[in-house]
Structure 1
Amino acid sequence: MKLLSIASGSSGNCYYVGNSATHLLVDVGISCKRVENALKDEGIKPSELDGVLVTHEHIDHVKGIGVLARKHGVPIYATAGTIAEMKKMTSLGSIDEGLFHEIRPDEKILIKDITVDPSSIWHDAADPVCYSLYGDGKKVSIATDMGNYNDYIVDKLDNSDIMVVEANHDVRMLEAGPYPYYLKRRILGNYGHLSNELSGQLIYKLLNDHVKGILLGHLSKENNFEELAYETVKLELENNSYANDVREFGLAVARRDMPMASIEA
């Protein structure tokens, strides 16, 4: 199983997860062209995509889905609430009804040889989910856009070989920054986004002896920066039971503007 972060941040999100037989995207919040170029560099044709897993309907997660679906006929998997909201979005254009496939939280589905497990999350969207994907005896989890987490989320993400976990903002930067009060409250609330500290605390609970990569995702352009997110999470991971150096976990920050090197489990 391989994870490729194509784009991650408040301005657009897209991840590739797959193996030699099955090719999936999680969200397409960037242009179809950027997705095509990233896949080409990995030797994957867009026509080989077996599906797009949508976490929720916010534009930074679905911006390019309409073009990708029309151009390459890629199936779209999402919850009923997310599909309903996407159909209302004129910016996505017309999408063939037959490409939509409804999923339900905690009901696993099989796409070729990868099992997909959606989990409910707290976010201000219609029916948002995060995903764990199982294939080749490995587990890849992508969990962003969560205002908070609980034991259910920890249980669903546990034992991952590769994970993307949101580290959206630094609380002090957000509180002192230019955002209006209502937006600050939204981001800091249970249906907003994970701070760097909460991200580190969640990752600490998910550590195991076979982690091959941990990416910090969905960083805010205005209320965070890569070094701060990394160092804050690094502090939260001190005194863990598995490694003295977080580099052993492959801890890194996902880039907003360009693909990362792919991670293989």
Structure 2
Amino acid sequence: MKLFSLASGSSGNCYLVQSSAGHNILIDCGLSAKKVQQYLAGFGVQIHQLSAIFLTHDHSDHVSGVGTISQRWGVVVYANSKTLEAARLRWEKLHRVAVEQTDRSGAADSGTVRPPAISKYNLQVLPTGAVIWFGSLQVSSFPVSHDAADTVCYTLRENECQATILTDLGCATNVIFEPLCRSDLIILEANHSLERLQKSRYPYYLKARITSDHGHLSNLQSGKILQEIIERSSPAHLVWLAHLSQESNQPEIAKHEISHQLEMAGIHKFPLHVAQRDKPSLQWNGEPAVYQIPMF
């Protein structure tokens, strides 16, 4: 199994997972179909070669490109029923807006082409907690606390290697730790620095939403989650920090604040990597994670 971060942030999230048998799946796709095509081509994948897209929830930075891809190339989309319904309504709204904009432009430009009518999406309900297989690649989900229709996160496993993507949640619940403790790769949300968020230009209601139990994880929360994972299992985890806010976080700040939390718990010099917001960055080739205890 291989896993690639194509984008990770409030402007769009998308991860590519490749099985050893050649299955290609996406976890979320908050990028345009054109950009996804471009990014996939960099890894030798054509968009029609996608086996499936899995949705964590219906917010636009996770689903905006999925409707077009499912319509145009027939790619199957998996999610629980509430997420599929909310995402479908969002795609139809995007289509209506595109038609209205084209009609307005067409009044001045007779050469404007109207977007085609919506065709059927290829949607399949995958209940929360269910398991689905693509050859030897296993995909399963678990619920998290976020202000969307019915948010989940995904665990991917092939042979003895496991990865879990944990983003878009406002607090840690007991259900998250079992898959995380067993994972070689953990993609962990580090959305904001509390200090920077409070000083940001965001209005009060948005700050309150972000810091609520249904919002996003702060660096401090992420550090505490990672500390508990290590204390329950071992430090043998590769960790990517993800979904960093452009307004209220920076890669070095996230690494510093999380590392400080770990240092306070006696976990020294734990390596942290940061997925970039708007372009492909990190890659995992399925190797088991190794942590070397610092000598000094």
Q: Provide TM-score, normalisation by structure 1.
A: 0.92
Max Rg structure: 2
Contact 2:164 2:179 in 1 (8 A): no
Equivalent residues in 2 for 1:7-18, closer than 5 Å? 7-18=7-18
1:234 — aligned with what? Answer: 259
Within a 5 Å distance, the mapping from 1:46-65 to structure 2 comes to: 46-65=47-66
Matched, 1:166 2:167: no
For residues 160-181 of structure 1, the C-alpha deviation after alignment (integer angstroms, 9 at most, x for no partner) is 1111110001111111221111
CA distance in 2 between counterparts of 1:95 and 1:217 reads 34
Identical residues among aligned pairs (%): 36
Which amino acid counterpart does residue 245 of structure 1 have in structure 2?
Answer: K
Name whichever of 69-78 and 56-65 sits farther off. 69-78
Which residue is 2:81 aligned to? Answer: 80
Aligned match of 2:274: 253
Q: Offset of 1:25 from its aligned partner?
A: 0.5
* Greater alpha carbon shift after TM alignment, 201-210 vs 10-19: 201-210
Displacement of 1:92: 4.8
Whether contact under 8 Å (2:7, 2:276) holds in the other structure is yes
Matching residue of 1:44: 45
Which runs of no fewer than 5 residues in structure 2 stay unpaired? Answer: 96-117, 287-296
Structure 1: runs of 5 or more not aligned:
none
Q: Which residue of 2 aligns with 1:123?
A: 146
Structure 1 residue 96, shift from structure 2 partner? 2.2
1:28 and 2:29 correspond: yes
| Partner SS state of residue 27, structure 1 | strand
Partner of 1:70: 71
**Considering only aligned residues, what root-mean-square deviation do their CA atoms show, in Å?**
1.7
Deviation of residue 58 (structure 1)?
A: 0.3
Q: What's the CA shift for 1:239? A: 6.5
Distance 1:31 1:134, change over 3 A: same
Contact 1:215 1:253 survives alignment (8 Å)? yes
Cα drift, residue 91 of structure 1:
4.3
TM-score, scaled relative to structure 2: 0.83
Aligned partner (choices 241, 254, 262) of residue 216 of structure 1: 241
**2 CA distance for matches of 1:197 and 1:95?**
45
Q: Which residue of 2 aligns with 1:150?
A: 173
- Tell me the distance in 1 between the aligned counterparts of 2:195 and 2:6: 28
- Tell me how far 1:55 sits from its aligned partner: 0.4
